[in-house]
Amino acid sequence: MTTSIFGSVVLRTEDPRFLTGASRYVDDVPAPGALRAVFVRSMMAHARLGRIETAAATGMPGVVAVLTAEDLQLPPRPPAGNVEGPFARPVLARDRVRYVGEPVAVVLAEDLARGEDAAEAVEVELEPLDPVVGAEAALAEGAPILHPDAGTNLAHAFEERWDEDVLAGAEVVARVRIRHQRLAPVPMEPNAILVVPERDGLTVWVSTQVPFDVRNDLAEALGLARERVRVIAPDVGGGFGSKLHVYPEYLVCAAAALRLGRPVKWVETRSESMLQLNHGRAQIHDVELGATRDGRLVGMRVDILADLGAYPIAAYLPPTTRTMLPGTYRIPRVASRGRSVVTSTTPVGEYRGAGRPEATLSIERAMDVLADELGVDPVELRRRNLIPPEAFPYETAVGSTYDSGEYERALDRALALAGYEELRREQAERRARGDRLALGIGVACYVEVTGFGRKELGSVRVEPDGSVTVLVGTSSHGQGHETAFAQLTASVLGVPVEAVRVVHSDTGLVPRGEGTYGSRSLQVGGTAVFEAASAVRGKALRIAAHLLEAAVEDVEVLPDGRVGVRGAPERSLGWDELARAASEPERLPAGLEPGLAAEARPAVRDTTYPFGTHVSVVEVDLETGEVTPLRHVSVDDCGRIMNPMLVRGQVHGGTAQGIAQALFEEVVFDEWGTPLTGNLASYAMPAASELPGYENDHTETPTDRNPLGVKGIGESATIGSTPAVHNAVIDALSHLGIRHIDLPLTPERVHRAIREAEARL
């Protein structure tokens, strides 16, 4: 690097437009003459779909069309790649509906109000069928079959060492059932799309994390060449994994725009979003963790039962969970079984962490239960079993190869920041006094995997005025990509961050891209940008050496950002001069291509494994069951830190969502599959006042799997915070004999557990 910008706090270049209201989301894009799409949705969780009567709606003022599956004839959406069998998802329901909220028809109207009125006038004939609510119900004998052609509700299964006695030699075995409740992602901006038919194709604005996937799928479904579909993701108001998929509504709106020859806009309501936007988690783990009496782990067995919702679009998540089951510990043998089933509920997809939080919560809860069985401090049990630094790269019993880690250093720093020993003394004093407010301290160590999709596009071009344009194939939805890639490019070229413009999320301007998921953007996209910028820098040095009649090895980027001869700053050129010279072949060294630009699409070596320790401090009111988080301390290691402010932002947001899972949030259905948490009045998202202050620190353990030495950070805090809070609440109640409570730890659940425990005393 030529400057010290890498590792420095650089203010987010995106923020001025967000803070001044100049940001532009899909609903802000001007669309003269656009029709508004309003979807008619199933009000039943499972039913045969009969006649759809659209005549009354079609005849209403302002209604241009009412379309059904028969009208559009769009191909169904395939299930996840590891699913075999007929589990495809119709774009609009055919023959039967499989969850409340499934789209059945679409109204296209001149304005939203008339579209909503017309949607209510569409009559849908439904013959109720028994629903399948919950993963256990899906596998019960005689359970209704949601996809008759499949003949089963089991969409995917795996077994690893399931027949082996992996607990042989264990003198103590901890057993716990972990229910990872279903969650709603609830991004600030719901799903939205605007499709504008052009003479030669379509221009699409959509709130997505994967613009190129949307382009490719729309083109395939509509029979268009990819170059005829331009997809733009403008400012995107959050995604958390929920905007990784190409939703049926996207295809319907695009097909309607082509059919009617007019722009079509659909902006999801919050109530629609709670029904239709993919949910997350929804796994049940039966965990057995065995150890010797001195606390050395010998084996682990985990039975995973996953609820995929009505369509198995993300059946790869339980196998991802399997790869992270051992966590940060040396566990010689791990057996696992996974069964993923369909139910008559909203489909389940990726949600911040996507399979890794489930693994971490299970091992960390099991470690606390085991510590209780052994009668040792949960921190001491962890310390005895952490993978030591000298063991890396470390291959786990499930075949994952961790790149680097200093797990005990992160643990020690978190404990020191929290004042762990003092907290334990305070806890003992409160118990001795019989305080109503019980103090709980929870610790969770985590490791996760990041950097999926090993290739990405990065392009860097110096303009004639000396500014720099960066193209990157990742897609931002709040993380600060524009700042990060500008900072990275500036650090290589020695130019001001303000001189760098980052272009992303537009398939008409960026030639290719994978999008944003799995905390991949800096390590994969950043590697591409770094290599492209390095190539531009190398080319600039050659051009400068030629023009200044100096040896290339004597030329460098000077502290003032100009390119010149080392030790002779008066012999230098600005980036604008170099860019203009690069456009004139006669001024270039022999064999050098014109232009001061480079494109890179390198493959990083492999995924990386961030890690850390979270410590949660809570109070539990023993009379009411109310849990109050007092402090949350985290030490996260994401390799080399480029911009500490961006890292803190990711940790703060992830911690909030992790605490929310532990204490507040859960999607609930009744026995008929009807959602009981269909809006923000019933789905208990926490307010800022209900969350504690965050105390964040970091260690830096670089990876050798990319040239930047960075790992992902976008999901880490969600993964570490939930089990820390869960353990803290159980710790507060451990003197009552309480060993486990299912999430979320609502006052009602905690109060009931306390009363039941008191009855046993």
pLDDT digits (tens, 9 = 90+) for 474-519: 999 999 999 999 999 999 999 999 999 999 999 999 999 999 999 9
Question: What pairing do the DSSP bridges indicate for beta strands 458-462 and 437-447?
Answer: unpaired
For 53, 66, 112, 539, the CA distances from 56, given in Å and listed in that order, are: 8, 10, 17, 67
Element (H, E) at 317: helix 317-323
Q: Where are the beta strands (DSSP E) in 153-247?
A: 154-160, 172-183, 192-198, 201-206, 229-232
User: Given a cut of 90, is residue 585 above it in pLDDT?
Assistant: yes
Closest to 641 (Cα-Cα) out of 568, 695, 711? 711
Domain topology for 15-21+452-600: Aldehyde Oxidoreductase; domain 4 (3.30.365)
| Average confidence (pLDDT) over 61-90 | 96
User: Given a cut of 80, is residue 736 above it in pLDDT?
Assistant: yes
Q: Where are the beta strands (DSSP E) in 580-626?
A: 597-600, 611-621
Domain limits, the chain: 15-21+452-600, 31-129+188-238+243-276, 280-450+607-760
User: Given a cut of 50, is residue 51 above it in pLDDT?
Assistant: yes
Query: Is 31-129+188-238+243-276 a CATH 3.40.50.720 domain?
Result: no
Task: Please say whether the beta carbons of 279 and 184 come within 8 A.
Answer: yes
User: Given a cut of 90, is residue 8 above it in pLDDT?
Assistant: no
Length of the chain: 761
| Average confidence (pLDDT) over 601-613 | 95
pLDDT value for 699: 97
Give the integer Cα–Cα distance in Å for 571 and 565: 6
The CA-based angle 231-233-239, given to 5 degrees, is 130
Largest CA distance in the chain: 91
Give the integer Cα–Cα distance in Å for 3 and 710: 18
1 pLDDT band, cuts 50/70/90, is very low
- Tell me the CB-side half-sphere exposure of residue 408, using CA atoms within 13 A: 13
- Write the single-letter amino acid at 309: G
224 pLDDT band, cuts 50/70/90, is very high
- Write the single-letter amino acid at 351: Y
User: Given a cut of 70, is residue 3 above it in pLDDT?
Assistant: no
pLDDT value for 5: 62
End-to-end Cα spacing for the chain: 65
- Residue written as tokens 């050098």? 592
Give the integer Cα–Cα distance in Å for 403 and 392: 6
- Write the single-letter amino acid at 743: L
Share of the chain above pLDDT 70, in %: 99
Do 31-129+188-238+243-276 and 280-450+607-760 have matching folds? no
54 pLDDT band, cuts 50/70/90, is very high
For 24, 182, 313, 496, the CA distances from 358, given in Å and listed in that order, are: 35, 11, 18, 42
Give the integer Cα–Cα distance in Å for 672 and 674: 6
Count other Cβ atoms within 10 Å, centred on residue 155. Answer: 26
Q: Which long-range contacts (CB under 8 A, 24 or more apart) does 11-18 make?
A: 11/483, 11/645, 12/480, 12/482, 12/483, 12/645, 12/646, 13/482, 13/483, 13/486, 13/497, 13/498, 14/476, 14/480, 14/482, 14/483, 17/235, 18/235
User: Given a cut of 90, is residue 761 above it in pLDDT?
Assistant: no
Residues linked to residue 620 through DSSP beta bridges, in sequence order: 438, 627
CATH code of domain 280-450+607-760: 3.30.365.10
Q: 133's torsion region: left (phi>0), alpha (psi -120 to 50) or beta? A: beta
Q: Where are the beta strands (DSSP E) in 644-720?
A: 693-698
User: Given a cut of 50, is residue 234 above it in pLDDT?
Assistant: yes
Give the integer Cα–Cα distance in Å for 464 and 212: 30
- Write the single-letter amino acid at 501: R
Element (H, E) at 259: helix 248-260
Closest to 147 (Cα-Cα) out of 304, 312, 280, 316? 312
Give the integer Cα–Cα distance in Å for 204 and 217: 12
Task: Please say whether the beta carbons of 333 and 397 come within 8 A.
Answer: yes
User: Given a cut of 70, is residue 4 above it in pLDDT?
Assistant: no
User: Given a cut of 70, is residue 418 above it in pLDDT?
Assistant: yes
- Residue written as tokens 């569409």? 122
- Write the single-letter amino acid at 506: D
Closest to 99 (Cα-Cα) out of 335, 275, 247? 275
pLDDT digits (tens, 9 = 90+) for 165-197: 999 999 999 999 999 999 999 999 999 999 999
Task: Please say whether the beta carbons of 603 and 454 come within 8 A.
Answer: yes
Query: For residues 360-385, b (16+ Cβ closer than 10 Å) or e, as one string?
Result: bbbbbbbbbbbbbbbebebbebbbeb
Considering Cα of 668, then 674, then 675, then 679, what sign does the dihedral take? negative
Task: Please say whether the beta carbons of 192 and 27 come within 8 A.
Answer: yes
Share of the chain above pLDDT 90, in %: 97
Give the integer Cα–Cα distance in Å for 382 and 513: 41
For 519, 534, 596, 609, the CA distances from 710, given in Å and listed in that order, are: 11, 17, 27, 10
For 125, 148, 277, the CA distances from 95, given in Å and listed in that order, are: 11, 11, 22
Q: Which residues contact 425 (CB under 8 A, 6 or more apart)?
A: none
User: Given a cut of 80, is residue 2 above it in pLDDT?
Assistant: no
pLDDT digits (tens, 9 = 90+) for 197-222: 999 999 999 999 999 999 999 999 99
The CA-based angle 605-391-333, given to 5 degrees, is 95
Considering Cα of 168, then 173, then 174, then 175, what sign does the dihedral take? positive
pLDDT digits (tens, 9 = 90+) for 260-298: 999 999 999 999 999 999 999 999 999 999 999 999 999
Task: Please say whether the beta carbons of 278 and 208 come within 8 A.
Answer: no
Element (H, E) at 300: strand 297-307
SS3 275: helix
DSSP state of 130: -
- Residue written as tokens 């402090």? 631
| Average confidence (pLDDT) over 310-330 | 98
pLDDT value for 569: 83
Element (H, E) at 106: strand 103-109
| Average confidence (pLDDT) over 126-140 | 98
Give the integer Cα–Cα distance in Å for 721 and 75: 41
User: Given a cut of 80, is residue 340 above it in pLDDT?
Assistant: yes
pLDDT digits (tens, 9 = 90+) for 14-42: 999 999 999 999 999 999 999 999 999 99
Helix axes 716-733, 747-760, angle to 10 degrees: 30
454 pLDDT band, cuts 50/70/90, is confident
What does the mean pLDDT of the chain come to?
Answer: 97
